[in-house]
Amino acid sequence: MARVYTDKFILTPGPTEIPDRIRQALARRTTNPDLDPEFIEYYRRVVSKLKKLLGAEKTDTYILLGEAILGLEIAVANLVKRRDKVLVVANGVYGEGFAEFVKMYQGEPILLETDWRKPVDLAELDRTLEKNRDTKLVTLVHCDTPSAILNPLEEVAKITNNYGVLLVSDSVSAIGGVPVEVDKWGIDILIGGSQKALNLPPGLTIITVSSRAWEEIDKTNYQGYYLSLKIWKEMLDKKDIFPYTHSDTLIYALSESLDMLFEEGLENVYQRHQQARKASWKALEAANLEPYPLEINYQSPTVTAIQVPAGIDEKQLRRTTWEKYGVMIAGSWGKLEGRVIRIGHMGVQASRTHLIIAYTALARALREQGYRVDIGSIVEAIEDTYKL
């Protein structure tokens, strides 16, 4: 298949495009993170920036080395022991996935299964906790990217705090794209990652740990090493020693990413993502495509999930957008595989230009499979959203 354009754009919902400033930070001269006292101080300054982003000034925050799924297993490993009941909000692929971690650590998952095209039903969550008063913790995926659903983290936290149960939130695809207030909302463990709205390569897990979570971590007494949270408190917090060799280059890049967010202003960042979501939905309407979430407010501002039209070969569609038009979009997972495609508008991708590039390539690829679409109308729909 001949490529029409030489430019390449990664417009998936993670890993994402890496802007120049971050690439330059990745190219900085390296040091030995284990031995350089200046690096420990640098790391702590980056953690302070993260605390500001996450509203976690009063909550212990760590940057771990490992792809973000590391944080999901760490949360379960450190909090769940044999026969502990865990309420798993299972309205998406990754939401359901938490149940597998719970089983690995011999806990008992209770699945709250709701419509995948909607956020979790808060009344149903309340009723389920009322029926299961011995629940130890609730797991939630803030933004479940395979379906693009955004769950209402603040409201869920109100309910879990009312019942006195712990809350673990996978916010990997949300931080940097939507507001998060760890302290104010009372989130016990929040997990983030580097390769989504922060526009870094995969490799860093961000995790916040509340005082209440630390109490349960001590009771659980997890006996492993790499997945242990206690070693970070015992070694880094008390002795200024990393539990294992860190990646200084990724920390430099994270620092640059956070600087970019604060220079833009967080309110502006979140507004930009909201505008990208609106423009994306307008583009779908112009293309006569159906979003997977039932309403725009159900969808995360960081990703759009699109139902594949009848008669369209989903794999061939994505192959054409990438190999011929130089734009990589994503498929989906689990029961949505083959039925849903996704465009990531997170971080620097939440822009008018990136959306026009994404939808123009998608429209051209749809045309090649006989789907009638007016590219001009799509571009106009996006442009109209960004009119001042």
Residue that is last in its domain, among 246, 262, 278:
262
Q: Report yes or no on 26 lying in a domain.
A: no
**Nearest alpha-carbon partner for 206 in 102, 80, 56, 98:** 56
**Contact predicate 71/169, CB 8 Å:** no
Check whether residue 106 and residue 249 sit in a common domain. Answer: yes
Using the Cα atoms of residue 128, residue 130, residue 131 and residue 135 in order, give the sign of their dihedral.
Answer: positive
272 within a domain of the structure (yes/no):
yes
Give 180: exposed, middle or buried? Use CB within 10 Å, 0-12, 13-18, 19+: buried
Helices within the chain (DSSP H only): 20-26, 37-54, 69-79, 93-104, 122-131, 153-163, 182-185, 211-220, 230-231, 238-239, 248-264, 266-287, 314-323, 352-368, 375-385
Quote the number of domains for the chain. 2
Last residue of a domain, one of 205, 238, 262: 262
pLDDT digits (tens, 9 = 90+) for 61-120: 999 999 999 999 999 999 999 999 999 999 999 999 999 999 999 999 999 999 999 999
Judgement on whether residues 253 and 167 belong to the same structural domain of the protein: yes
What is the pLDDT, as a whole number, of residue 3? 73
Domain check: are 251 and 285 in the same one? no
Same domain membership, residue 176 and residue 50: yes
- Answer whether residue 45 is part of any domain: yes
Is residue 303 located within the same domain as residue 232?
Answer: no
Mean pLDDT of the region 161-171: 98
Q: Are residues 174 and 300 in the same domain?
A: no
Instruction: For residue 15, say if its preceding peptide bond is cis, omega within 30 degrees of 0.
Output: yes
**Whole-number Å distance between alpha carbons of 279 and 351:** 9
CB 124 within 8 A of CB 151: no
Q: Is residue 7 predicted with pLDDT exceeding 90?
A: no
- Tell me if 192 is assigned to some domain: yes
Q: Tens digits of per-residue pLDDT, 11-43?
A: 999 999 999 999 999 999 999 999 999 999 999
* Banded pLDDT at 293 (limits 50, 70, 90): very high
Has residue 199 been placed in a domain? yes
Residue 199 backbone zone (phi > 0: left; psi -120 to 50: alpha; other: beta): left
Backbone angles phi, psi at 206, to 5 degrees: -105, 135
pLDDT of residue 388: 64
pLDDT score, position 2: 72
**Whether residues 162 and 49 fall in one domain:** yes
Q: Is 65 a member of any domain?
A: yes
Residue 362's CATH number:
3.90.1150.10
CATH number where 88 lies: 3.40.640.10
Do residue 336 and residue 242 come from a single domain?
Answer: no
Domain range for 182:
31-262
* 74 plus 112 within the same structural domain: yes
Q: HSE on the CB side for 374, CA within 13 Å?
A: 8
Determine the Cα–Cα distance for residues 73 and 323; give it in Å rounded to an integer. Answer: 35
User: Token pair of 250, please?
Assistant: 């990724």
Q: Is the pLDDT of residue 381 over 70?
A: yes
Residues 285 and 226 in one domain: no
Distance CA 244, CA 320 (A): 43
User: Residue 243 has which token pair?
Assistant: 């539990």
Tokens of 25: 């930070």
Q: Both 298 and 215 in a single domain? A: no
131: amino acid identity, one letter? K
Please state, in angstroms and rounded to a whole number, the distance separating the CA atoms of residues 331 and 378.
Answer: 21
If asked whether residues 76 and 195 sit together in one domain, one would say yes
Q: Is the pLDDT of residue 191 over 70?
A: yes
Going from the C-alpha of 193 to that of each of 26, 82, 174, 208, 373, the distances in angstroms are 17, 28, 9, 12, 36
139-155 per-position pLDDT tens digit: 999 999 999 999 999 99
Model confidence at 225, pLDDT cuts 50, 70, 90, reads: very high
Torsion, Cα 319 289 340 206, to 10 degrees, reads 100
The answer as to whether 210 is a domain residue is yes
